Structure 1
Amino acid sequence: MKLFAVKVEEGREDVDGKPSVGPVYRNLLAKNDFPPPDSDLNTAWDAFRVSVDKYPGNRMLGWREFIDGKLGPYVWKTYREVYEEVLHIGSALRASGAEPGSRIGVYGSNCPQWIVAMEACSAHSLICVPLYDTLGSGAVNYIIDHAEIDFIFVQDKKVKELLNHECTHAQRLKLMVCFTSLREEDKDKAASIGVKPYSWNEFLHMGKEYPSELLPPQPFNICTIMYTSGTSGDPKGVILTHENIATSIRGIDIFMAQFEDKMTVDDVYISFLPLAHILDRMIEEYFFHKGASVGYYHGDMNALRDDLMELKPTFLAGVPRVFERIQEGVIKALEELSPFRRRVFDILYKYKLAWMNLGFKQKNASPLADLLAFRKVKARLGGRIRLIISGGAPLSSEVEEFLRVTSCAFVLQGYGLTETCGLSTIGFPDEMCMVGTVGSAFVYSELRLEEVPEMGYNPLGDPPRGEICVRGKTTFAGYYKNPELTRETVRDGWFHTGDIGEMQPNGVVKIIDRKKNLIKLSQGEYVAVEYLEKVYGITPIVEEIWVYGDSFKSMLVAVVVPHEGNTERWAHLNGHRGSFSELCCLNQLQDQILLQLKSTAERNKLRGFEHIKGVILEPQPFEVERDLVTPTLKKRRDQLFKFYKVQIDQLYHKLTGGRH
C-alpha cells in the first residue's frame, strides 16, 4: 500500500477526563522536521516584490471592459505597472494618516484595484481587512466597528451599503476610496458624515504628489484580519501573520516540486471565488509569487462560461456547487445526443476510468477517449485547463470521479480553513485512491483526530474517526479581540476545526461530518444534520435540502428545493401541469419527495430517527442574496430557521396532530 503521510507520534487513550487522541501525522516531505523557510520569502510583500524584479513585463492582472454595451477582450496590467500603482496608493494612505498597524478595509468583488489595495497594505505594514462583497449593511457595520477600520476601499456599487443609515459606524471612517469613481450625491453623503471621498484616480494622484518611503513588514506582523462569513452569529476576525502567508506559499512550492508537471509563468487563473475567502486569496498570492497571471470574471456567475472561453485559463478553483453545475451541464448536453452517442460516451468513460484505476495517469489512460469525447468537456472550460481544485466543502466522490475522467486535467481536493491559512491537507493528482478524500497533511501542518464521545467517534477505533485537529506554521495567531474563543478552539497548541474526519490506512483524510451541526432530539438521540444533508442530497428529485430538528421535537423535517428537470418529468408522467412554482404546491409532489427520501434513507441504512418525516417545498434555491447561504454556499442555519420558522411550526403542528 502506498503511503501519503507519516506517523510521527502515537495516539493515546483518554486520561484525567481528556478525550482520546489519534496518532500525529505529517506530510512525507516533513518526515523528520518541517522544511526550512526560503530566505527570500519571509512576508506576503516579499512574494510580490521579488516577482516584480523577476518578471516586470509579465501579465499580472486582467479584466474585461464593456465596449459599446458588450464585453470586450481581457485587458492586462504587468507586474511593473501594478507595482507603480501600489507605490502611489500606499503613499496616499500614508499621506492620509495611515500608520503601521492601521486597519484598511477592502469591500467589493474581485478586481485589480482590490489587489493593488491589498499589496499597498503589505508595502507599509498596514493590516488588510477584507469584507465579502455579499455582506449587507449590518455585517459591514459590525466589522468596521470591531476591526476599528479608519480607511476603506470600496466598489462603486457597494457605496450605498456603506453609506446606508444602518451602517452607523461608517462615521468613524476617515476616508473612502472608490474602485472607480463616485457619484456627486455619494460624495455629498460621505462628506456630511465626515468621511473624505476619493475616486481611484484622485487617490492615485495624491500618492504621486506625496511619495512615501516603503515600510515593509516583519514576519511576525499581522498581514490580514479575515472575517469568516459565519454560518451563525457575528463574523469572527481571524488573524493571519505575514509568516503564515509566506509559509503557506513556501509549502505549495515544496509540494509542487515533486511532480513532473510544473507551474510556469504562462499559467492563468480565473478568479471568481471571493477574494475575501482564504482559498482564492492564497491561490492569487501563489500566482503572484510565480509571476503568473490572474484574470477576473466580469461579475456575473451565470455568464462565467463566457469569461472562461475568453480567458482560456489553465487553473480553475471552486467550491463543490461550481463543479456540480459543470457536471450537470455536461449531462444535460449528453441528453440531447442520440442514444448511440450517449452509449459511446458511457463506454469511453468506463474504459478510461478502468485504466485510471489501474494506476495510469489521466493523460495516458485513454488518448482515444479524450479525442473522441472528453476534449469537448475540456473545451467547455476554455480548452486549456490543466488543474482543477475543489475546496470550501467536501466534493462528492461521483462529481470528483466524473471530473477526473472527463476534464482532461488534474483534479484534486484540498481542505483547510481561514484559521489554517488555507491548506491543512492536499490531494495528489493521478491518485484514484484520493477520490472522495481531501488528501494528506500539508507540508507545514500536523494532523490528528480527537475523540467526540457524544457522536460515537473514536480516533483509536477501526476506522479511526474524530474531530480534525491541526497545528503547524500556517495556523492563525488567534481571533481578533476574542481571547475566550481562541482558548476554546486552540487547546494545547492544537486548533480544533469542528470537522469530523476519518483517517484512511494510507494516511489520507476523509471528511465525514461536522461537529458543530449536531442536534439533540427530544428522545435524547444525537443527529448530525450536515451528514444527513449529504446523504439525502443524492436523491434524484432533490436539488438542495436543509434538515431541521431540535430538542423539543422527536422527529426531523426538511426544506427541499426540488430538482426542476426531474420534477417536471415526474409531473409529465403523472398528468400534472403548471409552472415549477405551481408544481411545488402539490401535495402529490410532497408525497413523492418523502417517498424518495425514505428510499434514500433505507438504502443508506439510516436509523429511524434520522428519517425525514415532513417536507416544505421551496421553488427558489437557497441564495446569498436572501442571506440563506454564505458566499461559499454554506448554509446559514440561523437565517434559514428565521426564514422558514412559520412554515416549520405549521408542519410540526400538522405532523403531531396539534399536540405540543
Structure 2
Amino acid sequence: MKALKRLFDFPYYQLENYPLKKALVTKYNGEWKSLSTQDYIDKANALSRGLIKLGVKPNDKIAVISTNNRTEWNIVDIGVMQIGAQNVPIYPNISEDEYAYVLNHSESTHCFVSDNDVLQKVLKIKDEVKSLKTVYTFDEISSAQNWQEVLDLGQDESLQDEVQKRMDAVNENDLATLIYTSGTTGRPKGVMLSHKNISSNAINSATRLPLDYGNAKALSFLPACHVYERMLLYMYQYSGVSIYFAESLDTISENLKEVKPEVMSAVPRVLEKVYDKIIATGTELSGIKKALFFWAVDLGLKYEPYKANGWWYEVKLSLARKLIFSKWEEALGGNLEVVASGSLALQPRLARIFNAAGIKVMEGYGLTETSPVIAVNDQRNRGFKIGTVGKPIPETEVKIADDGEILVKESQVMLGYYKDPEKTKEVLKNGYFHTGDIGEIDTEGFLKITDRKKEMFKTSGGKYIAPQIIENKVKQSRFIEQIMVVGEGQKMPATFIQPNFEFLEEWAKRKHIDYKDRSELIKHQKVIDRYQEEIDFYNQGFGKWEKIKRFELTKDEWSIEAGHLTPTLKLKRKEIKELYKDLFEKIYGSQS
C-alpha cells in the first residue's frame, strides 16, 4: 500500500484504494467535466516534466493565483511539489502591491493564474519581481502564455525517471508550501508548512468525517489558497471523495442542487447568509404556513444534541423536520452529511438551527500555522457540543497557559515563518505554538475559544473587554451585517456598525421612511432608534462594563477590496479604525 508521507502521495493512494472516475470535476461553459484519478496523476506528471524542462529546480517557488477553485489548481499543486519545488498560493483579491510583496518575498520563479483579471494585476507588477520569469494562464487568453504549453513540454516521457528521482528525494519533513497569512495587521507572513504538517492533519481530520469512503461527493468553494480548504482537498483525496468545484460564491445554491454533495466546508458568514435568506423566505409567508415556519425556527433555536431536551421535544422536532426543515435540506442538495465550519467563530444559534434541521454543521478550530485543524466537533461518539470547537483531533496536544492562551504541540505545527526567525521565536516557545487565542477546555475535553489575545483591550477604568464575544452576540441581529467594538483606553466600549442594507432598506420601506441614499438613511432618527433597540436588547447579556454605550452606522459595505476585511473575512481592526476615525472622534472626541 502506498505510504502517505508527502502531499503528492495522496492521488497515488487514492488510485490504489479508491480509484475514481470523477476525482476532480469543474464546470466549463455550463458543462461539468471530470478527471479520473489516473488522469489526475498523468496530468500532474506531465506538468512535472514540463517544469523540469523549464529549468525548475528543487526548492524553487511556483505561485498559483486563482479566482475560483478548479481542477487545474490541483494538477499544478501536485506537479510542483513532486519535483521538490514549493507551491505558493496567493489570494486573488489582494492588492497589486501585496501581489508584488508575496512574489518578491517568496522569490517565485513562475506563476500560474486563472483568468484575465488576475493576469492583468500580475502583469502590472511583473517588472518589480526580478525572480519571476513566466506567467501562465488556465483560461485561454490571446497574447498570454497558457498552462497547456507546460503540459505539452511534458509530453516527453523520458523525463519521468527524473520526476521519480526527485519524488524519492523529498522527505516528509521537507517544506511543501509557503502560505502567506492574510494577517489583520502589517505585511503577511509566509508560513512554512512541511509535507508532514498538512498530510498528518488531513489524515487525522478524516477521523471526524462521517462518510462512506469511495462513495461520496464534496462541493469545494472556499479558496484553495487558504490552508483550511486546501487541507480538505487532500483529506477528500485520502477518503475517496469526488471533488466538485463550485463556479463561484454566487452560484453555490445552484451548484448544491446540481451536485448534491455529502460534504462541504463553509465559513460562518456563508451560513449566516443562508440562514438570513431562509428567514426572509419565511417572513413572506402568511397564515398557517408562516405560523408553522416560525414555530419550527423557534423550536430549532432550542436544539440540543443527543436528545438532551427530552422525548416530547424530539416528537415536535420530528414533525418540524417533516413539515419545514426537509425543504431546507432540499435547498442544500438533499444529501449533506456534514458541513465543516471554520475560519471564524460560529454563532451557537446557527449550530442549533442547522443541526435541528438535519444539516450537520460541525464547527472546528485551527490556524494557518497549525495546518490548520486543532479541534473539531463530531456528532458521533458524543463528540459534539454547541458553543465549542469540539475535541482536539488525534495526535494533537492542547494546553491552556496561565493567561488563558491556547498552546498546541504535535506534527501539524509549522516549521516557522519564512525569512523571519524573530517572529518565529515569538510564537514557537518551549516546544509549543502560541496561538494568540484565549480559550478553555471543559471537563469533557471540549475546547472553547473566547477571544483573540491581541484583540482584548482595557477601558480607562481598567476593565477587560473581549470584543469578539460582544460582536458575535450582536451580529445575530438581522439589522447588522458587520460590527466592530472599539474603546481601548476609553471610558466605555462603543461600536462601528455596517447595517445589513438589504434588510434595513426593506424595513424602511415598510415604515414609509423617505431617503435619497444610504448616507441619508443611516442618519434618519427612526433608523437610529431602531438600532438602539437592537443594542439595548443584546446589552442585557453583558456585564455593566461591557455594555455598548454608543454606536455609529457606516454607509459603506465592508469588504476585502475596500480594506475592511482580510481575504478570510476577518476584521482588519486597525484599518477600520483609521477608515472611520471621524466616527471614533464623534464618539470619544471629548475623552481622546
- Report the TM-score, using the length of structure 2 for normalisation: 0.91
Structure 1 Cα separation of the partners of residues 564 and 510 of structure 2: 33
The whole-number CA distance in structure 2 between the counterparts of 1:506 and 1:95 is 56
The match for 2:220 is 271
Q: Could you tell me which residue of structure 2 aligns to residue 222 of structure 1? A: 175
Change (3 A) 1:160 1:434: same
How far does the alpha carbon of each residue in 1:84-113 deviate from its partner, in whole angstroms, 9 at most, with x for none? Answer: 211111111111111111111111131111
Q: Which runs of 5+ in 1 are unaligned?
A: 1-37, 67-71, 188-197, 453-465
CA apart distance, 1:539: 4.0
- The SS at the match of 1:413 is strand
Q: How far, CA to CA, are the matches of 1:97 and 1:145 in structure 2?
A: 19
Q: Which amino acid is 2:322 matched to?
A: L
Q: Distance in 1 between matches of 2:207 and 2:502?
A: 46
Query: Which residue of 141, 160, 165 corresponds with 2:100?
Result: 141
Q: Distance in 2 between matches of 1:555 and 1:360?
A: 43
Distance 1:528 1:265 in 2: 44
Q: 1:424 to 1:337 in 2, by over 3 A?
A: same
Query: Which residues in structure 2 correspond to 1:190-205 (within 5 Å)?
Result: 198-205=145-152
1:31-65 per-residue CA deviation (whole Å, 9 max, x = no partner) reads xxxxxxx9721111111222234444521111112
Check 1:179–1:334 CA distance in 2 against 1; reply closer, same or farther (3 A cut): same
Instruction: Indicate the SS of the match to 2:328.
Output: helix
Give the length in aligned residue pairs.
Answer: 579
Partner of 1:306: 254
C-alpha spacing 1:329/1:497, structure 2 compared with 1 (3 Å) = same
Query: Do structure 1's residue 89 and structure 2's residue 47 form an aligned pair?
Result: yes
TM-aligned CA distance change 1:433 to 1:114, over 3 Å: closer
CA change 1:136–1:267 in 2 (3 A) is same
In structure 2, do the counterparts of structure 1 residues 571 and 240 end up closer, same or farther at CA, with 3 Å as the change threshold?
same
Give the match's secondary structure for 1:171. Answer: coil
Q: Which residue of 2 aligns with 1:621?
A: 557
Identity across matched positions, percent: 27
Which segment drifts farther, 52-61 or 106-115? 52-61
Q: Hey, what's the Cα distance between the residues in 2 that align with 1:501 and 1:547?
A: 20
Pair 1:242-2:195 in alignment: yes
1:644 and 1:470 map into 2 onto residues whose CA distance is 36
For 2:571, the equivalent position in structure 1 comes to 635
TM alignment of 1:5-24, pairs within 5 A: none
Look up the match of 2:13: 50
In 1, Cα distance between the equivalents of 2:208 and 2:547?
43
What's the secondary structure of 1:44's corresponding residue?
coil
Q: CA deviation at 1:399?
A: 0.5
Q: Find the aligned partners of 1:92 and 1:269 in 2 and give their Cα distance.
A: 30
Q: 1:429 aligns with which of 379, 386, 395?
A: 379
Q: Contact (CA 8 Å) 2:337, 2:359: kept in 1 or not?
A: yes
Please point out which of 583, 588, 591 is paired with 1:652: 588
Task: For residue 403 of structure 1, report the CA deviation from its aligned partner.
Answer: 0.5
The corresponding residue for 1:399 is 350
Between stretches 238-247 and 558-567, larger displacement belongs to: 558-567
How far apart, in 2, do the equivalents of 1:355 and 1:652 lie? 44
Alpha-carbon contact 2:384-2:390 (below 8 Å) kept: no
State the distance in 1 between where 2:233 and 2:189 align.
23
Q: TM-score, length-normalised on structure 1?
A: 0.82
- d(CA) in 1 for partners of 2:544 and 2:318? 45
How many Å separate the matches in 2 of 1:554 and 1:645?
17
Q: Give, in angstroms, the shift of residue 123 of structure 1.
A: 1.5
TM superposition shift of 1:290: 2.3
State the distance in 1 between where 2:304 and 2:492 align.
43
From 271, 275, 278, the counterpart of 1:327:
275
**2:469 maps to amino acid:** Y
- Secondary structure at 1:341 match in 2: helix
Matched, 1:389 2:374: no
C-alpha separation between the residues in 1 aligned to 2:556 and 2:493? 22
Show the 5 A alignment for 1:156-305.
156=115, 157-165=117-125, 168-184=127-143, 187=144, 198-209=145-156, 211-212=158-159, 213-214=162-163, 215-216=166-167, 217-256=170-209, 261-299=210-248, 301-305=249-253
- Contact 1:92/1:210, CA 8 A, preserved across alignment: no
| Paired position in structure 1 for 2:398 | 447
Cross-structure match for 2:440 = 502
Contact 2:24 2:34 in 1 (8 A): yes
Report which structure shows greater RCO (CA 8 Å, sep ≥6).
1
